[in-house]
Amino acid sequence: MRPTSLLLKLLHSWLVLGVVASVWERGALLWQVWGGGLLLAAVADACTLPRRGRITGKRALPGRFALGVGAEVTLTVTHSVRRTLRLEVFDGIPTAAEAEGLPHAVSIPRGEYAAISYEARFVRRGEHAFTPAHVLVHSALGLWRRLHFIAGESATRAYPNYEPVVRFALLAMANRVEQMGIVKRRRMGGSLDFHQLRDYQDGDVLSRIDWKATSRRSTLVSRDYEETRNQTILLVPDCGRRMRALDGGLSQFDHCLNAMLLIAFIALRQGDEVGVAGFGGVQRWLPPVKGAHSMPKLLNHLYNYEASSEPSDFIEAAERVMTLQRRRALVIMLTNLRSEDGATLATAVGAMQKRHLVLTATLREQELEQRAAAPIDQLHDALQYGALTHYFGERRQLLESLRSRRVLTVDESAQMLPVALANKYLDVKAGGLL
């Protein structure tokens, strides 16, 4: 039980009256009457505070949270007190979450309830728990407040942001994936299997016309193909300390996870299987899974990946890939390359190329590009520009050396990486490279 600001103000006025009574004899009686009345009112008002258990609550959470995306949480508060209660409610949100609209002040009449909704946004992935909500109950006269705990603990998980995956699914249903920037590549015969015959449509390649069927039906008939299925995509994310750098409010590692979700969704939808093998402090392994129903399994495997403080060892990653993945696969290594990686990366890629097709996806740091584009006014700006130009030059040379070894590369900013990686995967499928 704690006093409210109203009770403190009344006590302050009683003290002021006491000072007046010390210099004015007739004010003593008024001071005593005021003090006695205030004491009786405070005691009587304290008795109106509800006891423990008279206020209850229930929390409703969404099925899952996406990193950086707000989701609605609803806290339902009820009571069994025979009067209207005035409450201040603050839910026990995890330290990794942010919430708007709290604390929430509400009045609940007798026999009714209040459903308090607010938006929670997680800034860190993984398992989290909502602790019991704090409820401050006001007494009838508003002189006292008592703290109650309701709703108990609620466990939840914050997953990587799968919004691009959902957008792709919705656009794919309307056959409009190009609105995301994902381009449907013209397929080449080497990567296709015959599917069925169908009526000719404007834009069909003449080489796909089935002339025997056309002569029988006296109308143009085209052969329909489908891409080769049952191929393996192995995602190899760099979980080392270089991926901890922030880019646009999220770490580069989180941006990589978002890209992995999109490429995994597309690959599973194409009939391929997807596996995950982290390196750089994280030695976790998910054997390749297949089918659209496997997407939740990938989410549950990836949601609590974290970038460690250990250095990234590309040669160790290549050895793990060669040990764990025996079947030929498209190995997608997601990292942030540095000029000093040239020798070790070439050795690692060369080892994996003996069996697999290797794709290196690296993130460009947008902040460095913005600094390079800033105007040069002082000597410090010129020195910084020179250092950045040297850094970008070494990076280009490293990527060119990889391409000269017939290694596929994707070099994009964190925001554009998911779409660029999806387009590269579709290029590989269309070209029959795997």
What residue type is 312 in one-letter code?
S
pLDDT value for 120: 92
Residue 223 or residue 60, greater confidence = 60
The mean pLDDT of 301-318, rounded to a whole number, is 87
Residue with the bigger pLDDT between 68 and 139: it is 139
For the cut 50, the answer to whether the pLDDT of residue 82 exceeds it is yes
Q: Is 45 in contact with 29 (CB distance < 8 Å)?
A: no
pLDDT at 130: 93
The answer to whether 350 touches 399, Cβ cutoff 8 Å, is no
Residue 74 pLDDT greater than 70, yes or no: yes
Nearest residue to 407 via CA among 353, 354, 355: 353
Higher pLDDT, 89 or 429: 89
Classify 255 as helix, strand or coil.
helix
String of b and e for 212-223 (b: at least 16 CB within 10 Å)?
Answer: eeeeeeeeebbb
Give every CB contact of residue 384 below 8 A, 6+ residues apart in sequence.
371
pLDDT at 168: 64
Which of the 8 DSSP states describes residue 101? S
Of the ranges 187-191, 277-281, 363-367, 421-425, which one carries the lowest mean pLDDT score? 187-191
In the chain, the N- to C-terminal Cα span, in Å, equals: 70
Give pLDDT, residue 173: 47
Average pLDDT for 29-41 = 85
pTM of the full structure: 0.70
Q: Which residue has the tokens 């942001």?
A: 161
- Using CB atoms within 10 Å of the CB of residue 314, give its burial: 0 to 12 exposed, 13 to 18 middle, 19+ buried: buried
Percent of the chain with pLDDT over 90: 22
Q: How confident is the model at residue 166, as a pLDDT? A: 62
pLDDT in tens, 170-229: 565 455 455 555 555 554 444 455 556 778 777 666 777 877 888 888 888 887 655 566
Q: How confident is the model at residue 162 (pLDDT cuts 50, 70, 90)?
A: confident
